[in-house]
Amino acid sequence: MVAVEQRQHAPAPLTNVVELVRAHGAARPGLRAIDDKKTGVVRSFGELCRDIEETAAALRAAALVPGDRVALFVAAGPEFVTVVNACLHAGLVPVLIDPGMGADNVLACVKEQAPKGLVGIAKAHAIAAVFRGAFASVKVRVLVGGSFFPGAKALDKLRTPGATCVVHPGGADALALIVYTSGSTGAPKGVQNTHGVIAGRVEAIRAMCGIEPGDIDVVGFPPFGLFSVAMGMCAVFPDMDFRFPAKADPRKILAAMQGATNVTASPALFEPLSRFLVDSGTKLPGIKRIITTTGPVRSQLAERFLQALPDGNVFTPYGATEALPVALADGRSALAETGAAARAGQGNCVGQLVPDAHVKIIAITDEPIATMRGARELPPGEIGEIVVRGACVAKSYDTGTDPRGARANAQAHIADPSVPEGFWHRMGDAGKLDEQGRLWFCGRKGQRVETAQGTLHSIPVEAQVEALWPERAALVGLGERGSQRAVVVLEATRGTPRFDRARMREAVRALPGCGTVDDVLLHVGAFPVDRRHNVKIEREQLARWAATRG
């Protein structure tokens, strides 16, 4: 008998991240991929892939060619998933700018990107017609969700049933799309995402959360719908206004969750939903995972959900637009192993680092750091600035021809020729590593309070105060750094409680590490939060309010 050598061929390298969706379409064409509860639109993976290819062909027919940048303003839901993937399929570079960041920021972002194409709903084309200067670069206008707008080509009319389009072979290092940061702590910045970075993020989340094809994901944060279908999950879009997740009707979210295995949303949506579950005694059998995104998660949120999850867990990826995921915490382990320490003011444990993510903690500074030689690394247990490198990290900001892009990279990157990536990314967060290698988040670096007696970080202080108060607390600093007055503001949204300012001030000062807090104020009404996610407390705005209260 002649021995036959069995050769195992390595899979072909990924050249376009849309191939992840197409692979599910080829292997499981009948599997449900999209379910929009507001419109009733349902698509299988086979149908979704057909829609993506026909849309890609339509965009090419509109005279857009590989490499063209396209400003994308499409409503959340199936059309968003389809059009973004169609752009990738055709080799176009979609520019994702959240309208929730405000009109001035949106117009500035469009102008600096100078896109060739505008693909969007009628409202986007109307805005472009009024603010022509910001959209001066646009040569191709495609209308989504309508049949006519002056000067625009209707996507529905451009699409031809059965039309084909060859997948553009960009390559793992090729630019796939540009996503803008929220601008909650400064001007929004465009983040370059390559095909390889996006694919790496999809795989990291899939592996760490144990997601499998056929899982059903209720999507409360629309961009995650792109990840859902790339992982082979059905993306279920609930009946809600995605601009205001905190106002979503819990009953409609629960209706969308029937038969689901996964729910992905921001804490803004999950806070009222979790309270509704506890108050109504509702359980969530069949839900394997609650995945929180876009903002810090209070331990109380995880505790409420775990009461309702007989078979599931709460997962919290830590990261940012520039780097995601860096670490992952699961609620059951966090509460059992680190919950007491978090409530005692040690910070919020965001879990173990994901594979291929590398983190250092360096001494805090607001100045640029040219190389790692200029950074002082801190030992485990000491709070400093979080810096990260690895496959999860986008390589560059992109603000077109605007010199802010170069300045943003200089501020956020620290050169290091000794590592494969050549740089470390500054997360803009304060935190620490513990002896077990777990990462702890202690607040935004720019929101630290520096008094004459030392530095206070928001999360350690607020977690302790919230043990004394039924709603949220926020630490703010008044005055110049180095001599700031530390003030704790208490939120009161469920009626105006009895509030003894002097007694609460003394109770707060008695907490570990809080002896330098100068005052406590009551804020009747909800805290101001970021417009994009409705979850990040706008402490700078709250500080201005506190300064008027004496």
Q: pLDDT digit string (tens) for 51-103? A: 999 999 999 999 999 999 999 999 999 999 999 999 999 999 999 998 878 89
Q: Which two tokens stand for residue 62?
A: 């509109």
DSSP notation for 46-92: HHHHHHHHHHHHHHHHTT--TT-EEEEE--TTHHHHHHHHHHHHHT-
- Final residue before a domain boundary, out of 399, 431, 446: 446
CA torsion sign for 425, 428, 432, 436 is: negative
Domain that holds residue 134: 18-28+38-195
Instruction: Report whether 237 contacts 36 (CB < 8 A).
Output: yes
Beta partners for residue 415, in sequence order:
371, 423
**Residue 452 sits in the same domain as residue 370:** no
Residues 455 and 433 both lie in one domain: no
Q: List strand residue ranges (DSSP E) for 293-437, in order.
A: 313-318, 327-330, 348-353, 357-362, 384-390, 413-415, 423-433
Q: How many CB atoms lie within 10 A of CB 285?
A: 9
Distance between CA atoms of residues 122 and 73, nearest Å? 9
Angstrom distance (rounded) from CA 350 to CA 359: 13
- Both 56 and 177 in one domain: the answer is yes
Q: Is 48 domain-assigned?
A: yes
Which has the minimum average pLDDT: 79-93, 104-118, 284-298, 465-479?
284-298
CB 19, CB 34: distance < 8 Å: no
CA of residue 387 relative to chain centroid, distance: 18
CB of 61 closer than 8 Å to CB of 142: no
Q: 313-322 in b/e burial notation, b at 16+ Cβ within 10 A?
A: bbbbbbbbbb
| Tokens describing residue 56 | 């890609």
Are residue 361 and residue 490 in the same domain, yes or no?
Answer: no
Residue 11 has pLDDT above 70, yes or no: no
Are 136 and 173 in a shared domain?
yes
Integer Cα distance of 472 and 135 in angstroms:
41
| 129 CB burial (10 A radius; 0-12, 13-18, 19+) | middle
Give the whole-angstrom CA distance, residue 16 versus residue 13. 9
Kindly report the backbone phi and psi dihedral angles of residue 89, in degrees, each rounded to the nearest multiple of 5, phi listed first: -55, -45
What's the average model confidence in pLDDT over 454-466? 97
Residues 48 and 186 in one domain: yes
Does residue 468 sit in the same domain as residue 390? no
CATH code: domain of residue 432? 2.30.38.10
The pLDDT value recorded for residue 3 is 34
Residue 110 lies in a domain: yes
3-class state of residue 117 by DSSP? strand
Q: Which residue matches tokens 């506190």?
A: 546
Contact assessment for residue 243 and residue 100, using Cβ atoms and an 8 Å cutoff? yes
Query: Looking at the domain assignment, is residue 463 inside a domain?
Result: yes
Q: Are 375 and 363 in contact (CB under 8 A)?
A: yes
| Residues 433, 318: Cα–Cα separation, whole Å | 14
| Sign of the four-CA dihedral 124, 130, 136, 141 | positive
Total count of domains within the chain: 3
- With respect to residue 12, please indicate whether it lies within any of the assigned structural domains: no
Q: Quote the pLDDT of residue 324.
A: 93
Model pLDDT, residue 2: 32
Nearest to 150 by CA among 181, 172, 173, 128: 128
Predicted confidence band of residue 50 (pLDDT cuts 50, 70, 90): very high
pLDDT in the model for residue 185: 62
Say whether both 51 and 188 belong to one domain. yes
| Average pLDDT value over all residues in the chain | 93
pLDDT at 307 over 70: yes
pLDDT average, residue stretch 107-122: 96
Percent of the chain residues topping a pLDDT of 90: 83
Rounded to 10°, the helix 78-90/45-61 angle is: 60
SS3 of residue 344 by DSSP? helix
Q: 507 and 381: one domain?
A: no
- In a domain, residue 257? The reply is no
For residues 64 and 176, state if they share a domain: yes
Note whether residue 11 is domain-resident: no
Clarify whether residues 184 and 163 are in a common domain: yes
Contact 428, 445 (CB under 8 A): yes
**Of 169, 195, 221, which residue sits at a domain end?**
195
SS3 content of the chain, % helix, strand, coil (to 5): 35, 25, 40
pLDDT score recorded for residue 374: 97
The pLDDT of residue 14 is above 90: no
In terms of Cα–Cα distance, which of 56, 49, 42, 52 is closest to 26? 49
The secondary element (H helix, E strand) that includes residue 35 is strand 32-36
- DSSP character at residue 334: I
How many residues belong to the chain? 550
Domain end point (choices 446, 476, 503): 446
Global confidence as pTM:
0.91
Nearest by Cα to 465 from 506, 407, 498: 506
Two tokens at 164? 């084909």
The tally of CA atoms less than 13 A away on the side-chain side of residue 537 is: 25
Q: What is the residue-wise DSSP string for 134-176?
A: TTTT--EEEESS-S--TT-EEHHHH--TT---PPP---TTSEE
Q: Fill in the DSSP letter of residue 8.
A: P
Which pLDDT score, from 0 to 100, does residue 123 have?
96
In a domain, 107, yes or no: yes
Candidate from 354-363, 396-405, 481-490 with smallest mean pLDDT: 396-405
CA 217 from chain centre, in angstroms, equals: 16
Q: With respect to residue 276, please indicate whether it lies within any of the assigned structural domains.
A: no
pLDDT, one tens digit per residue, over 125-146 is 999 999 999 999 999 999 999 8
Q: Are strands 449-451 and 454-456 parallel, antiparallel or unpaired?
A: antiparallel
Contact 345, 511 (CB under 8 A): yes
Question: Residue 87 CB: number of other CB atoms within 10 A?
Answer: 28
The DSSP call for residue 330 is E
78-90 and 18-27 helices, crossing angle to 10°: 110
Query: Exposed, middle or buried, 414 (CB in 10 Å: 0-12/13-18/19+)?
Result: buried
CATH of the domain at 106: 3.40.50.980
pLDDT of residue 164: 97
User: Do both 44 and 182 map to the same domain?
Assistant: yes
Better-predicted residue by pLDDT, 431 or 336: 431
Structure tokens at 505: 């001030």
Model confidence pLDDT, tens digit, residues 234-248: 999 999 999 899 899
